[in-house]
């Protein structure tokens, strides 16, 4: 009687081959992601710059150029190479300062909200606000970007009175009676409060910097060099 055929064990190289294949696939995917990023990054950066430029013009009327600065210990310093989030853009019409545009950010309902607001140094008030980045709930929280009654709050929102900072206060829709109050968005109180809190946190620092450092001298180089 012949002996039964022996069962050969699987080749030990099969698991090693699988690891090599998976590694190759992972490497190919990584290279594809890196290549895609390198191809799209310049376009994304250009789109962001264009959107920022449009936003600057929307919150500061009449400026033909903007200079990005940040407050330093002894004066205003260039903010051109500073990541977005805390820059102050001084808007000029030729050599005359016509207004400021200020970056600010804070926690929203979903994630961080980034805004840009205009500031008039003469009246000490916010004169415009636009949302740069937001992930608020569509149909509710995202109304901070487009609700006309809410946006009207920022046509002249007083944040300085008799030389002292004034904190914006959120009130229910239709109950605004003071220039520093903000009419909330019905159904989106959290997002409305987030914008209020962002401004309340940002404007005192701006006022302090302007008091300590004054206004910078008008730029003398070509407009194209300072426009983001």
164 occurs within a structural domain: yes
- Total domains, the chain: 1
Which secondary structure element, helix H or strand E, spans residue 79, and what is its range? Answer: none
- Check whether 116 has a pLDDT greater than 60: yes
Mean residue pLDDT of the chain comes to 88
Residue 69 belongs to domain spanning: 46-226
Q: What angle do CA 178, 179, 182 make, to 5 degrees?
A: 85
207 occurs within a structural domain: yes
66 occurs within a structural domain: yes
- Check whether 90 has a pLDDT greater than 80: yes
Tokens representing residue 191 in the block: 């997002």
33 occurs within a structural domain: no
**Which one has a higher pLDDT value, 98 or 29?**
98
213 occurs within a structural domain: yes
Helix H, strand E, coil C: the string for 133-186 is: ECCCCCCCHHHHHCCHHHHHCCCCEECEECCEECCCEEECCCCCCCCCEEECCC
What per-residue confidence (pLDDT) applies to 217? 84
CA 97, CA 104: separation in Å to the nearest integer?
21
Per-residue pLDDT band for 39 (boundaries 50, 70, 90) equals confident
24 occurs within a structural domain: no
**Which one has a higher pLDDT value, 18 or 5?**
18
What per-residue confidence (pLDDT) applies to 63? 94
12 occurs within a structural domain: no
DSSP 8-class letter at 97: E
Is pTM beyond 0.85? Reply is no
What per-residue confidence (pLDDT) applies to 16? 76
User: pLDDT tens-digit profile of 146-169?
Assistant: 999 999 999 999 999 998 999 999
133 occurs within a structural domain: yes
What per-residue confidence (pLDDT) applies to 185? 97
- Check whether 36 has a pLDDT greater than 80: no
Per-residue pLDDT band for 82 (boundaries 50, 70, 90) equals confident
């Amino acid at each position: 009687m012949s002996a039964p055929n022996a069962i050969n064990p699987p080749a030990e190289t099969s698991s090693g081959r699988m690891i090599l294949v998976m590694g190759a696939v992972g490497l190919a995917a990584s290279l594809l992601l890196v290549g895609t990023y390198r191809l799209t990054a310049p376009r994304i950066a250009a789109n962001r710059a264009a959107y920022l430029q449009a936003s600057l013009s929307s919150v500061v009327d009449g400026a033909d150029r903007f200079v990005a600065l940040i407050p330093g210990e002894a004066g205003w310093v260039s903010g051109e190479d500073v990541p977005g989030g805390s820059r102050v853009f001084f808007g000029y019409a030729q050599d005359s300062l016509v207004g400021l545009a200020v970056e600010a950010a804070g926690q929203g309902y979903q994630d961080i909200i980034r805004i840009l607001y205009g500031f008039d140094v003469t009246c000490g008030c916010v004169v415009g606000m636009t949302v740069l980045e937001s992930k608020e709930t569509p149909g509710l929280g995202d109304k901070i970007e487009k609700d006309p009654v809410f946006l009207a709050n920022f046509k002249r929102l007083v944040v300085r009175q008799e030389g002292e900072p004034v904190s914006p206060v959120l009130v229910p829709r239709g109950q605004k009676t003071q220039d520093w109050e903000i009419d909330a968005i019905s159904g989106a109180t959290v997002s409305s409060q987030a914008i209020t809190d962002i401004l309340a946190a940002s404007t005192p620092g701006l006022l302090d910097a302007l008091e300590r450092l004054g206004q910078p001298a008008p730029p003398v180089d070509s407009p194209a060099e300072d426009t983001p």
